[in-house]
A and B are shown apart, each in its own frame.
Chain A
């Protein structure tokens, strides 16, 4: 009843090619942004901001990155963790060499290093696809993990083998390091995620997005419409790795505050891949849903039984949490193999015709 586009006529193509042509969608987006930018930082507890929202946004960004590659271009990658690591280490090296340049610039710049590495490991994608490409990207994962562990240059010969985030500030306000407040870091992360999501949405709705999807759906026909396969695939690798790299830099600099190389192992790659699959391949909204389900759901499961006064041993909670998450993932995949994004679309369609069945 409320979600209906009837009466919203478009009188020119400029209005019709808009990313959100429906008024209610724009209002909804405005409300979400308002909640994220005003309500949460004002009323949210430190726990909500530090332990839930910041990592959720960072993982969503990484999921968007992987989704551009796997969901939109159809190239399966298991190197996400490594590409995030490249971003984090690049940012670390840059800020130790040039401490006076603002950290925001370095976080964004670290994406370019990640993109370059992504392109390098994306080169085999012209010849191989599917599972075989996944194995090739797995090689990237292992090689880069090895670099982060065995090459002391990457962590500045630190005895612990880990990287520690120095304090860096913007206009005198510390945004990284131990003295930065939760809210400040939240705003930085939110800024990155909003701007980059907006850019990703612009990309996938335009020519480049269509080229990627064409390559994914039918590469022969794509070639015949004049799309060169290798540059298109490499562009997808570059863009995807850029997003993952920035997400990796944010992860270390604005959430962990320091990192061991083990953070960027293959488990992280799978973690992000699950988010993309469950959220929905080829959907930016789905990336957020996927990150929410995989990352926030366990937190909810862990903290709610004690809050409700149910006396369960913490170890049992941990076990139950794994079982419930596993069951939920299977359930969601059976209910909707195309992911949460598809469920969301079906829901919107139902809402559009409500109260009638169709």
Chain B
């Protein structure tokens, strides 16, 4: 448990709220009528059995999918749909279930790419690599090196990420998301396919990100131990419907959740 107490543990106001969102692909309802909110500074977990609509939910939040119904309010601004670069500009960063790194680029370049939005030197300075372009490059390199130190990946800086082992790729991907200095960080199964040690490392990083940078985190994870330890509040989806929402303890005792995971006798 990260902290004792009720749901008020999470500091701050609502950062993002999803209201009555429905999303279907043809006849398949991926998400129907789901509402929940994410508050500033908390770690919010989204869990549920396979096919519950968790990843669809994240895709709605950062604008890959456009829901047929519902509203998304982010930082007080309500819209019926986000667009990926709007989400990025607004401060939503994301990692993917199957690592989505830029495979041909080095770890350093991947994380530098995460800072694209913060860099402004125009094309002609870029051509000369002088003046603002060079200054910017050096300045952002410093920030990126801080992230590299933070994630302890100094020695793989210059390695093309396609050649890195899976666990490190996940870490570089987290680095790229952090480089965007997001307000809201969406982690889609950050610990999938990891061994115990790697999971512990990754959990530590997630907590540190939350502590050091004050980043709000929403994560999808299947490892219940991790979810219960890390998160402040948990929302549970099953077949696209929200079946529970609350602190880890409340959710653990919820009968609907137990039924969803263990099945019910008919």
Q: Chain A, 206-234, contact with B by CB distance < 8 Å: what is the 0/1 string?
A: 11101101101110111111111000000
* Known contacts A210-B113, A226-B88; A221 and B101 CB within 8 A of each other: yes
Q: Chain A, 172-202, contact with B by CB distance < 8 Å: what is the 0/1 string?
A: 0000000000000000000000000001001
Once the chains bind, are B116 and A223 in contact (CB under 8 Å)? no
Partner of B129 from A205, A228, A282 at Cβ < 8 Å: A205
Q: Does B25 contact A (CB under 8 A)?
A: no
Q: Does B194 contact A (CB under 8 A)?
A: no
Chain B contacts with A in 62-107, Cβ cutoff 8 A: 62, 64, 84-85, 87-89, 93-94, 96, 100-105
Q: Does B142 contact A (CB under 8 A)?
A: yes
* Known contacts A13-B138, A225-B114, A225-B176; A207 and B104 CB within 8 A of each other: no
Q: Does B117 contact A (CB under 8 A)?
A: yes
Once the chains bind, are B116 and A224 in contact (CB under 8 Å)? no
Q: How far is the CB of A21 from chain B (nearest CB, A)?
A: 11
Once the chains bind, are B137 and A225 in contact (CB under 8 Å)? no
Q: Does A17 contact B (CB under 8 A)?
A: yes
Once the chains bind, are B123 and A217 in contact (CB under 8 Å)? no
Q: Does A25 contact B (CB under 8 A)?
A: no
Give the docked Cα–Cα distance between A246 and B35 (Å).
57
Give the docked Cα–Cα distance between A217 and B116 (Å).
16
Partner of A226 from B64, B85, B101, B138 at Cβ < 8 Å: B85
Once the chains bind, are A203 and B100 in contact (CB under 8 Å)? no
Task: Kindly name the residue among B101, B113, B133 whose own CB sees the greatest number of chain A CB atoms within 10 A.
Answer: B113
Q: Which residues of A contact B94 (CB under 8 A)?
A: 224
Once the chains bind, are A13 and B116 in contact (CB under 8 Å)? no
* Known contacts A206-B137, A208-B123, A217-B102; A19 and B129 CB within 8 A of each other: yes
Q: How far is the CB of A181 from chain B (nearest CB, A)?
A: 31
Q: Does B224 contact A (CB under 8 A)?
A: no
Q: Does A308 contact B (CB under 8 A)?
A: no
Residue of B nearest to A227 (CB): B116
Q: Does B154 contact A (CB under 8 A)?
A: no
Partner of B104 from A12, A205, A216 at Cβ < 8 Å: A216
Give the docked Cα–Cα distance between A223 and B113 (Å).
11
Once the chains bind, are B100 and A220 in contact (CB under 8 Å)? yes
Q: Does A14 contact B (CB under 8 A)?
A: yes
Give the docked Cα–Cα distance between A203 and B121 (Å).
12
Chain A contacts with B in 245-271, Cβ cutoff 8 A: none
Once the chains bind, are B105 and A207 in contact (CB under 8 Å)? no
Give the docked Cα–Cα distance between A125 and B126 (Å).
24
Q: Which residues of B contact A318 (CB under 8 A)?
A: none
Once the chains bind, are B127 and A202 in contact (CB under 8 Å)? yes
* Known contacts A223-B84, A226-B88; A208 and B126 CB within 8 A of each other: yes
Residue of B nearest to A220 (CB): B100
Give the docked Cα–Cα distance between A8 and B35 (Å).
57
| Majority secondary structure, A binding face | helix
Give the docked Cα–Cα distance between A224 and B112 (Å).
14
Q: Which residues of B contact A12 (CB under 8 A)?
A: 138
Chain A contacts with B in 318-347, Cβ cutoff 8 A: none
| Majority secondary structure, B binding face | helix
Chain B contacts with A in 145-162, Cβ cutoff 8 A: 145
Once the chains bind, are B127 and A199 in contact (CB under 8 Å)? yes
Partner of A206 from B84, B101, B126 at Cβ < 8 Å: B126
Once the chains bind, are A211 and B93 in contact (CB under 8 Å)? no
Q: Does B119 contact A (CB under 8 A)?
A: yes
Give the docked Cα–Cα distance between A147 and B83 (Å).
40
Partner of B142 from A13, A213, A218 at Cβ < 8 Å: A13
Once the chains bind, are A226 and B109 in contact (CB under 8 Å)? no
Give the docked Cα–Cα distance between A214 and B132 (Å).
22
Once the chains bind, are A210 and B141 in contact (CB under 8 Å)? no
Q: Which residues of A contact B101 (CB under 8 A)?
A: 217-218, 221
* Known contacts A203-B126, A205-B129; A221 and B145 CB within 8 A of each other: no
Once the chains bind, are A14 and B102 in contact (CB under 8 Å)? no
Once the chains bind, are B89 and A226 in contact (CB under 8 Å)? yes
Q: Does B180 contact A (CB under 8 A)?
A: yes
Once the chains bind, are A210 and B88 in contact (CB under 8 Å)? no
Q: How far is the CB of B140 from chain A (nearest CB, A)?
A: 9
Give the docked Cα–Cα distance between A279 and B129 (Å).
25
Q: Does B134 contact A (CB under 8 A)?
A: yes
Residue of A nearest to B127 (CB): A199
Give the docked Cα–Cα distance between A220 and B123 (Å).
24
Partner of B113 from A202, A203, A211 at Cβ < 8 Å: A211
Q: Which residues of B contact A202 (CB under 8 A)?
A: 126-129, 133
Task: Kindly name the residue among A14, A213, A224 whose own CB sees the greatest number of chain B CB atoms within 10 A.
Answer: A224
Residue of B nearest to A200 (CB): B127
* Known contacts A13-B142, A225-B117; A210 and B105 CB within 8 A of each other: yes
Q: Which residues of A contact B87 (CB under 8 A)?
A: 224
Once the chains bind, are A218 and B137 in contact (CB under 8 Å)? no
Residue of B nearest to A71 (CB): B104
Once the chains bind, are A224 and B62 in contact (CB under 8 Å)? yes
Contact sample, A vs B, 16 pairs, CB 8 Å cutoff: A13-B145, A199-B127, A206-B133, A207-B133, A207-B137, A208-B126, A210-B109, A210-B112, A213-B113, A214-B113, A217-B103, A225-B116, A225-B180, A227-B85, A227-B113, A227-B116
Q: What residues of chain B have their CB less than 8 Å away from a CB belonging to chain A?
A: 62, 64, 84-85, 87-89, 93-94, 96, 100-105, 109, 112-114, 116-117, 119, 121, 123, 126-129, 133-134, 136-138, 141-142, 145, 176, 180
- Not counting A202-B133, A223-B84, A224-B87, a sample of 15 additional A-B residue pairs whose C-beta atoms are within 8 angstroms of each other reads A17-B141, A203-B127, A205-B129, A207-B133, A207-B137, A208-B123, A210-B105, A213-B104, A216-B102, A217-B101, A221-B100, A225-B93, A225-B176, A227-B85, A228-B85
The 8 closest A-B pairs by CB, nearest first: A226-B88, A202-B129, A217-B102, A226-B117, A223-B84, A221-B100, A210-B113, A13-B141
